[in-house]
Amino acid sequence: MRALLLLAVLVAPASAQRSPGWELKVPERIEVTIGQAATLPIAIAIDRGLTVSKDAPVIVTLQPDPGVVIKKRRLGRADAVDPEADAPRFAIPVRGDTAGEYAVKLHVKLWLCGGKVCKPLEIRRQSTIVVTPAGQPAP
């Protein structure tokens, strides 16, 4: 009986496990017209009782495909919309120069704290920027 119970616990789906207490919110897709600017929002959502350390750096590194222009590819807490918040948000201007779909890879480093204990997090995500000619809807 114990072996069966242990097996059930080991093969339980990952969704049944406890959440890590945080989430990085980045849209999967953003549409922009050639030559125009759009905003790539990045938000760090955390559970109650947790904070993003204000003593350690928050670093957001962006790696866009050619065809998408991002002036500042490395951001820190000071670049956040709300730098003093427990969970900072970023609004990154992006511009498309050539029609098509382009990936922007994100790498976020931060320290997540709960009580007196902090742990480092490295989060990787990707967003797609769809650039369309003027007057033409996105596919």
Q: Give the Å distances, CA to CA, from 3 to 6, 7, 127.
A: 5, 6, 43
**pLDDT at residue 139 in the model:** 53
Mean model confidence pLDDT for the chain: 84
User: Residue 50: is its pLDDT beyond 60?
Assistant: yes
User: Residue 25: is its pLDDT beyond 60?
Assistant: yes
**pLDDT at residue 17 in the model:** 38
Closest by alpha carbon to 26, among 13, 39, 16? Answer: 39
User: Which of these CATH numbers, 3.30.300.30, 3.40.50.720, 3.40.50.620, 2.60.40.10, describes 18-132?
Assistant: 2.60.40.10
Weakest mean pLDDT among 10-14, 87-91, 105-109: 10-14
Confidence of residue 136 (pLDDT cuts 50, 70, 90): low
User: Residue 137: is its pLDDT beyond 90?
Assistant: no
Q: Please classify residue 83 by burial: count the beta carbons closer than 10 Å to its beta carbon, then call 0-12 exposed, 13-18 middle and 19+ buried.
A: middle
Please compute the mean of the pLDDT values over residues 89-115 and round it to a whole number.
94
Instruction: Report residue 70: phi and psi, to 5°.
Output: -130, 115
Task: Report the C-alpha gap between 16 and 14 in whole angstroms.
Answer: 5
